[in-house]
Amino acid sequence: MGSFIEKFSLEGKVALVTGASYGIGFAIASAYAAAGATIVFNDIKQELVDKGIASYKEQGIEAHGYVCDVTDEDQVNEMVEKIEKEVGVIDILVNNAGIIKRIPMIEMSAKDFRQVIDIDLNGPFIVAKAVIPSMIKKGGGKIINICSMMSEFGRETVSAYAAAKGGLKMLTKNIASEYGEYNIQCNGIGPGYIATPQTAPLREIQPDGSRHPFDQFIIAKTPAARWGEAEDLQGPAVFLASSASDFVNGLILYVDGGIAAYIGKQPK
């Protein structure tokens, strides 16, 4: 049994998780550290990197943090070069950095639309492109793109985000198609609705004691009848980063409590 469980080990691996100072990225990186990987992350500002390093320290993790804008190809190439020199070749890349702007489409400026596409879709392209050559040389690697329910579904006010995350789903399949022969597996994780500080206002109990309308909506749409926790993403993320998934390529694994399988409750 020991040797089978070892397939899930990340011992000796270097994992870069973008935008992982907090939230989903932080949860995934922490799981990788627990599985034996060395953690590298970036964020767009020094103060966020410092906060991230402090949060990892609290968990007993010695993470390496870099200031880097994932939309700037020169900065990304420089960071990857530095990581290779200072830490080692990147075995695992998680494209986690992203933003969302909730604006009705006809009120959204093209500039805002482009910014979301730039960070959520061009960013993963730029970072993946920077790490793939060394993965090829080393004989393999794992790329995990953080997709979304919006890689499959539309919703009011998220036109740019849905366009980016739909594009990221297809970029994932294309990286798998183009570099699978080099023993590179590229898969995606599509988180469902996750309880994070950002979604906390949507879960506040109303003055009359009832659930927030959006909270009610999500619970009704989810067979598990709850929001996900960041921890719910840790097992799937470790699986996709480990040799246990060596023949899994081009998959988007939805960790959504069953939302994508479910038509939803009939109103009472």
Catalytic residues: 161
Asked if residues 185 and 245 have their Cβ atoms less than 8 Å apart, the reply is yes
The amino acid that residue 260 corresponds to is: A
How far is residue 96's CA from residue 41's CA, in Å, rounded to a whole number? 10
DSSP reduced 3-state for 228: strand
CA distances from 37 to 87, 103, 136 (A): 11, 39, 20
The amino acid that residue 226 corresponds to is: R
How far is residue 202's CA from residue 10's CA, in Å, rounded to a whole number? 36
The amino acid that residue 137 corresponds to is: K
Residue 181's contacts (CB-CB under 8 Å, 6 or more residues apart) are none
